[in-house]
Amino acid sequence: MTSSYSDEHFMQVALDLAAAGQGFVEPNPMVGCVLVKDGEIIGQGYHQEYGSHHAEVEAIRSLASADDAKGCTAYVTLEPCCHHGKTPPCTRSLIDAKVSRVVIAMQDPFAKVDGGGISQLRDAGIEVVVGVLESDAKVLTAPFTKLVRTGRPWVIAKWAMTMDGRIATRTGDSQWISGPASRSEVHRLRSRVDAIVVGMGTVIADDPMLNARLNSSEYQGISVQGSVPNRIAQRIAQRVVLCHQRLPSQQSRLMETAKQFPTLLVTTPLVEEAELVNLESLAAKVLRLESGDRESMIGATLDYLGENGATNVMVEGGGEVLSSFFSANQIDEAHVYLGPKAFGGTGAAGPVGGIGVEKVADATLFELHDLDRFDDDVRLVYRRKPASK
């Protein structure tokens, strides 16, 4: 039977499957796999959580018999691994299953793979096609790719602002700009990231908890051909406070819950060491930096988080923290919530403070990645535009 569907069609199914692993598989990449024979999908799977079977193995396991894979085409969103890690190499699983063709969206940048999986499959006599829906796969795996190539996590900035671009009134009142549906979506984001970063201005003004508070009944989940269960990630993000000159109070909610939720204080020589010791006794971890330079502080924090396996980091700080991240050119993605209000006032704060750029040409360029509506709010998701070659 000749299939009426293209390679792109089946790869899109695999990409949709892969996305269901978001928040569960990190620091591994999200990967999906579809097995096709005679133009029909006979098996499918995705990497469901860190340390579990990879997508290729899940797809083969979904068959009534592994022998059913003989002669089929496997569509995989990322080059199959060829090394022993937490699981055996997926290339061996595909070879043993006697698939005849493997279509791959993108090559794996991880040094232990990076073309090795493709070579192993070809050496085994399997036809390999690379680059089908590659750009879509690169979007999906961008956080993983950045961590592999730079050692730093993917940075997501989030803020809510009014129609006229204010994050608070002229008196500092800010709750709430966005509605309940938007705030639930923010908690979904919190539930899948590895760290949430704020500055002391936010800690003092809002006394936040910075944890994900979301009832699973509110979550709509992801459904792919009715085969992927609705799931909500349950990661407990490390709460990171950039303490340039000041420290949180021992009575702050962050410090009172430091034993329950991991909390990191990033400090400079400008803070009082005696006060810092008291906070360490409350179970807060401390990253002591030798420099008080704000941009260096951002870089050192991201290096530390990357070294400790963080793939996605959310920045919820106020205008000064966001300004520091933008100035350091360390924002990869921005989730901007636009609420149906206008505050006005020349003294009302905007989302990004600091000195700002001098010329339009100096601004970091982003491109619109997604747009969603939550009741009367709008969420705009931007990603930093790749530098032209």
Q: Is 242 in a helix, a strand, or coil?
A: strand
Check if 56 is active-site: yes
Helix 319-327 × helix 294-307 angle, to 10°: 80
Is 274 a known ligand-binding residue? Answer: no
66 is in an annotated binding site: no
* Residue 52 is labelled as binding a ligand: no
67 is in an annotated binding site: no
Q: Is 168 flagged in the annotation as binding? A: no
339 backbone dihedrals φ, ψ, rounded to 5°: -90, 155
Q: Report whether 206 belongs to an annotated binding site.
A: yes
b/e sequence 233-257, b meaning 16+ C-beta within 10 Å:
bebebbbbbbbbebbbeeebbbbeb
Residue 19 neighbours by CB distance under 10 Å: 15
> 81: annotated binding-site residue?
yes
**Does the annotation place 210 within a ligand binding site?**
yes
Compute the distance between CA of residue 205 and CA of residue 209 in angstroms, rounded to an integer: 12
CB atoms within 10 A of CB 131: 12
**319 belongs to an annotated ligand binding site:** yes
Give dist(CA 166, CA 160) in Å, integer.
8
| 294 annotated as ligand-binding | no
Q: Which alpha helices (H) appear in the chain, and where do they start and end?
A: 7-19, 55-61, 90-96, 116-123, 134-140, 142-150, 180-190, 200-206, 253-256, 273-280, 294-307, 319-327
DSSP state of 68: G
Q: Per the residue annotation, which of 26, 40, 49, 56 is the catalytic one?
A: 56
243 is annotated as contributing to ligand binding:
no
Asked if residue 316 belongs to a known ligand binding site, the reply is yes
Residue 256: how many CA atoms within 13 Å on its side-chain side? 8
Residues designated as active site:
56
Summarize the annotated binding site as residue ranges: 54, 81, 90, 160, 174, 176, 190, 202, 206, 210, 213, 316, 318-324
Summarize the annotated binding site for NADP(+) as residue ranges: 160, 176, 202, 318-324
Summarize the annotated binding site for substrate as residue ranges: 174, 190, 206, 210, 213, 316
Summarize the annotated binding site for Zn(2+) as residue ranges: 54, 81, 90
